[in-house]
Amino acid sequence: MKIIDIEVLPLRVPYEARIRKRFYHFGMNEHLTIYKFHTDTGLVGLGENPGPPFPQEQLDVYLGTSPFDHVMSTGVFNLDMACYDLMGKHLGVPAWKVMGQQVRPWVSMGWWMPCMSPEDSAAEVQEAAGRGYRGLKCKARAFYDVVEQAQAMQDAAPPDFRIEFDFNGSLINVEKALPILRELEKIPIVKGVEEPMFAYDIEGWRRLHQEIRIPFYLHGVGTIFDGASRQPSGPWLGLRAGDFDGALCSHENIRNAIAASWAFKAANTPILLQYVGTGITAAFACQMGAVMHTATLPGVTASHTYEDDMITEPHTIQRGFMKVPEGPGLGVELDEDAVQRYRSMLGPDWPRYYSVVTLPGGVEHYYRNLQQAENLMKQGVDDAFAPGIRLEEREDDGSETFDRIWKRLQEEDWPVWEEI
């Protein structure tokens, strides 16, 4: 069996209407590419990636090869998943059988959301719980009061719901992190924090870990393949020393992901799978999660964020677990009608906007967008994570005031602190 052609399908798949504009403001585009790997036996394997198509030279690596040439490959998982789909279909077995021994028929999967207001965060918890999820991962950013967010989510959640905040290092240092984390640990729904500060500060991590009861998760498992680190914080050293309670396996190639699963099994440390895409990628994540012993934290595929999951039969979600598809390969079929629908989809014409950060006391500062607000607030511009702080997007209302502020924000990499 040889791969003789790769059909590339660039699509635009909108996010659900409830969150579509919010995701646009967060910098997430709706471009999606699906790949159909055609073989000389007539079988077709599916791959995908959010975003535009990969360069042709990256696809050429697969042409003329057998899918079995890519077992435990170091290629991008988005394309390698098509090979595993083909291998499983050729053998008449689920893809996990080409990866290892199954340890679970259902894989823990969670909801995902970017940073939102406390009110919208609470609404997302209710949406997630209503669709069968029992865990949620939320971005934590400097322009929202994360403690207020957590309390709003606690008030809206069913009794067995859990949330994890992903800070991406935005708490910066121990002195900033400790008071915020101490407040968060008082809220029962908070079951984990991912990278509250950057992992190279091992002494900071140790101090936080000693003083805070919330589990800490490392942002990535790939570091264990780097060998000894010159930095005193080598994350694998930290893991062995008990400084981390889990780690994110995010978009790792298949070889590294499976290898990490065995290393983390030896360390008795859980893994959170994060492979983002539609129902196709969710199927791939389930196949991998089926053989990874410690993939027990609620994973993230964000497939629920799209208005269509691009497969003919939706995944089964029950009490926070996604059923591993039992059919050959990935176990899902591409919805060809959806492909035709989204091949000609045009993007919305969003109005101009800027971001307004409201500080304690009601003072408003204006930023070009939330990305600028995040970057500058990390540098000490405005009080990050201040009690009651929040951000909103102000859209063009046709006024001269809006136009003046918007134009000035395009010209300067600095907030506007007064209406002009």
Q: How far apart are CA 50 and CA 312, in angstroms?
A: 19
Tens of pLDDT along 361-383? 888 999 999 999 998 988 888 88
Locate 267 and state its tokens: 């360390």
DSSP string, 339-368: HHHHHSPPPP-PPPEEEEEEPTTS-EEEES
Q: How far apart are CA 357 and CA 45, in angstroms?
A: 47
Say whether 225 sits in a helix, a strand or coil. helix
Least confident of 94-98, 170-174, 391-395: 170-174
Whether residue 163 is predicted with pLDDT greater than 70 in this model: the reply is yes
Tens of pLDDT along 96-149? 999 999 999 999 999 999 999 999 999 999 999 999 999 999 999 999 999 999
Q: How far apart are CA 177 and CA 266, in angstroms?
A: 30
8-state DSSP, 306: B
pTM of the model: 0.91
Cβ distance 172 to 378 under 8 Å? Answer: yes
Cα–chain-centroid distance for residue 387? 26
Q: Is beta strand 162-166 parallel, antiparallel or unpaired with respect to 135-139?
A: parallel
Cβ distance 305 to 112 under 8 Å? Answer: yes
Supply the pLDDT for residue 235: 47
